[in-house]
Amino acid sequence: MTEWETDGDDTSEPGVINRDTLVERLAVVRHASARAADTYVGHPVRGFVQRTFGGHLVAQSILAATETVEYSDRVVNSLHCSFLRIGTHERPLEYTVSRIRDGRSFSVRETAVRQDGRELARLSITFCTTAAHGTPSSSSVPLDVPAPDTLEPLHRRRALGLPADGIKLPAREHWWTASRPVDIRYVDGTDDRTFWFRTAPAEGAPQNVHRAMLAFASDRSLLPVIGHARGDLETAHLMRTASVDHALWFHADVTAGEWFLYVQDSPFHTARSGLAHGSILGRDGELVATVMQQGLIVDDRPARNSRS
């Protein structure tokens, strides 16, 4: 098997292997213009021809907003993102942060994401002190699922003909070089859509970098849960999909590189859209984050064929 066959994914540019770490891909820098106060620049992933991944915008927005919070003990607590337009892989991304409020325990920021003057997304992000979280009122839940290292990775699932996973862009064997570098291990035979996931480690990075990386991964493979609830997951990867918004709440510190269990369900869905809900748990069963996303997942292939 050649290097090309084990790296990247189906949108990889021929001959280009992106070996940048996820930390490097998500990094933002202050805009060079002195007039661009609280504006930061990030880049889409190099070597992939596709629209910009929503999780990428969310993660870079967190990192841009973090740069404007002057309290070292505050970590990102929650966010709500509205996706407005599709971005391209070809141009830089600008993140303009508005300082809404700094209270005794919470800071609130709004971030507008633009590319070539077009607004792609808008986010409201809150940060809080660790003390503001308090002590969880519920204990960890036991995880009655197989351990991640006993489950097949995505590239082998398809080769082995295991049940559909609904993912449009599956990583190849070297998942860390894919456009969405997340190692995913599905748990088959559960009522809810359940899988383990991990990103690469971020040793020595601040907690907000670890949380940004979890936010990146939280948008991975979320809309297919609507297809799972509707019973059409086997064709979900062929449908037209779009995320409308994405909400995320953190409940505990996280460490990039560790395995997390993602349990997903769809409390409401129609033939064209739905609401996806996800709980992210650590290996000890502790709830570390809650996710909600509204999205479109439409099977309009016959209509397209009739127009051709």
pLDDT band per the 50, 70, 90 thresholds, residue 305:
very low
- Segment holding 290, helix H or strand E: strand 287-298
Q: What is the mean pLDDT of residues 117-141?
A: 80
More confident residue, 231 or 57: 57
Report all structural domains of the chain as residue ranges with CATH numbers, in order of start: 3-130+148-307 (2.40.160.210)
Mean of per-residue pLDDT scores for the chain = 90
Asked if the model's pLDDT at residue 134 lies above 80, the reply is no
Is-contact 122 84, C-beta < 8 A? Answer: yes
Is-contact 258 298, C-beta < 8 A? Answer: no
Q: 3-state class of 178 per DSSP?
A: coil
Residue 99 to residue 124: CA distance in whole angstroms: 10
Q: What is the mean pLDDT of residues 61-69?
A: 98
More confident residue, 47 or 63: 63
Tens of pLDDT, residues 23-44 = 999 999 999 885 668 999 999 9
Ramachandran region, residue 219 (left: φ > 0; alpha: ψ -120 to 50; beta: rest):
alpha
Q: What is the mean pLDDT of residues 135-142?
A: 59
pTM above 0.85, yes or no: yes
pLDDT band per the 50, 70, 90 thresholds, residue 138:
low
pLDDT band per the 50, 70, 90 thresholds, residue 241:
confident
More confident residue, 166 or 296: 296
pLDDT band per the 50, 70, 90 thresholds, residue 131:
low
Asked if the model's pLDDT at residue 132 lies above 80, the reply is no
**How long, in residues, is the chain?**
308
